[in-house]
Amino acid sequence: MGEVNIKDMSKPSSGLGSANHPLAPPENNSTHLQDSNDHPQRHHIITQDKPISKMTKTMRPWWKDSTVYQIYPASFKDSNGDGIGDLQGIIESLDYIKSIGVDVIWVCPMYDSPQIDMGYDISNYEAVYPPYGTVQDMERLISEVHSRGMRIILDLVVNHTSDQHQWFKESRSSKDNSKRDWYIWKPAKYDADGNRTPPNNWRSNFGGSAWSWDEQTQEYYLHLFCPEQPDLNWENETTRQAIYHSAMIFWLEKGCDGFRVDTVNMYSKPPGLPDAPVIDPGSQWQEAGFVYCNGPRMNEYLEEMNAILARYDAMSVGECPFTPDMSVAVGYVSEEKKRLSMVFQFDSVNVGMGNVFKFQTTPFNYKLADVKDAINRTQGLLIGTDAWTTSFIENHDQARCISRFGDDSPQWRERSGKMLAMLFGSLSGTLFIYQGQEIGMINMPKEWRIEDEYKDVDSTNYYNMVAKRYNNDPAELKKAHEALQHLARDHARTPMQWTASPNGGFTTEEAKPWMRVNTSTKEINVAQQNSRKDSVLAFWRRMLETRKTYNNVLVHGEFEIIDKDNETVFSLLKKGSEGKALVVCNFSGSPSQVPKVDELDKMKLVMSNVDGESEALRPWEGRIYLVQ
């Protein structure tokens, strides 16, 4: 691709690359920083003679008052019986999605990909993974979403590409290739004995060295994730311009309303690529997230991206790991700075995870105080700033929240799921919910074997590492299994549970789903919950309606934890210009007392997840009181 002027990117480029997947049809089936309430008119699909429509500006950006529903395409709905979810399946489900009460859908990577990391290894930004559909299917999906008064955002994965992307194929072809500098290549180091070693000790996010040796050109390339996911060199301006054009403008011109930006703070690497501190003495490779995240040019890059997004009134939500300094996060999402609309901070979902390896822990290895502190940090982003925040507890990278923070036993599964819906639905910022969360889906059964049922590279790599490091010690493998059963990403990736049938209505009964359907579909499914007024699904609908009704308090109100030292009850006060709300949640299977709060006698109970009145909080009960 020739050089493109960032200020004038009005014409989509042509895409290159292709992908093959084990389940795919044959090819011919084609911390170093520099310094609305109402929906406006939708984007139109772009044609030569139909310009993009301008959105009417409101006092608040549209995305502040939105609830976003995340879709994992492979596991959502299979429309053609090949066992893999697809775009047509999403289109057929849009009326259901709208009925939940959400405003925006976020579609995880649907781009052409070899699927080494479930689509986060992209071989062509301008093409669709064939089992999911075509670019024309995406255009129809965008149009159908807009016709229902909703918006759609896509995943923007631009820290790296697939090694099958045409850019990388050219880059690795020779040291003299014009795209050699589009990726991060470094010569080898040699130890005292003359053995070749990588440029530094960084550990990949999926284990092992973050560097791979290329025999043909005799250099290492950097990959913060799988070896098949080489990191792009954002220092190269031509590369950045190509990224903006191919990955962003191509889809914005088709009506996309914004992006969830993958690994948004990893683009600017630190000068010299220094070694990470040694925190795992048993390994040659060390966790380096605090070294390579939030590099010196991040603000510059984000401002360039935002300049493009602003032309389309498009939103951005960045995945922002390894950022404990709130001032850094505020700098990313400050309205004045014009970089990102908001970020995902991982304080809440990281509760209970291990420090060296996230799976190096035991189930429920946390206290309620840890959950309170985590939420307090992310909600605190709004205090005295012009920043914005997010509320979420599930996504494609997290295990199911009822299994982690509630009680997934048949007795308390639904009630604790409703309580978690109430808590996170009452937090300020833009709310994100993940497919299946609205019906209270839970983790895979404990008896499922990691070797057979788990598909995620992160899970299998960790399990294999433990087996190798401890020589298949049964006790160590048991601990690894228990941790993965509690925290693995696989739990979020089992197919959506639409009915009680063995394949859960995800695909035909004759088909073999790409991943086994959770056996809990017999009891937890959309069809059953749609017919019940007391279901988790019905509760989510009420919660989202309540969130809209009391928008000024629940979405935009100031957050304050009360009764902080209470070990079983999470109580928070929300203050808005039109009133106050008290939210109390009993995180236990035993009765607990409602905390003493000024003005409680003046407050009205507007929502509870348990029928009837009770002076004490019943097990896993949540309540919202309001005074206006």
- Active-site residue list: 262, 319
| C-alpha dihedral, 233 to 235 to 237 to 238, nearest 10° | -20
Nearest to 159 by CA among 126, 115, 120, 128: 120
Nearest to 607 by CA among 517, 520, 545: 545
Distance CA 439, CA 496 (A): 10
DSSP string covering 371-429, please? HHHHHHHHHGGGTTSS---EE-S--TTS--HHHHHS--STTTHHHHHHHHHHHHHTSSS
Q: What is the amino acid identity at position 304?
A: E
Phi/psi for 568 (5° steps) reads: -125, -20
Distance CA 572, CA 595 (A): 10
**3-state secondary structure (DSSP) of residue 615:** coil
Nearest to 14 by CA among 1, 33, 32, 27: 1
Classify the phi-psi angles of 334: left when phi > 0, otherwise alpha if psi is within -120 to 50, otherwise beta: beta
Phi/psi for 319 (5° steps) reads: -80, 115
Phi/psi for 617 (5° steps) reads: -75, 130
**3-state secondary structure (DSSP) of residue 231:** strand
CB 425 within 8 A of CB 544: yes
CB 223 within 8 A of CB 229: yes
Nearest to 396 by CA among 449, 456, 348, 452: 456
**Number of helices followed by number of strands (H, E) in the chain:** 19, 20
DSSP string covering 119-188, please? TSS-SEEEEE-TTT--HHHHHHHHHHHHHTT-EEEEEE--SB--TTSHHHHHHTT-TTSTTGGGB-EEPP
Distance CA 397, CA 288 (A): 19
**3-state secondary structure (DSSP) of residue 103:** coil
For residue 569, the cross-strand partners are: 586
CB 204 within 8 A of CB 225: yes
CB 108 within 8 A of CB 224: no
Strands 185-186 and 219-222: antiparallel
CB 132 within 8 A of CB 87: yes
Using the structure block, give the residue that is written with the tokens 């490091």. 469
Q: What is the amino acid identity at position 392?
A: F
From the centroid of its chain, how far is CA 461? Answer: 21
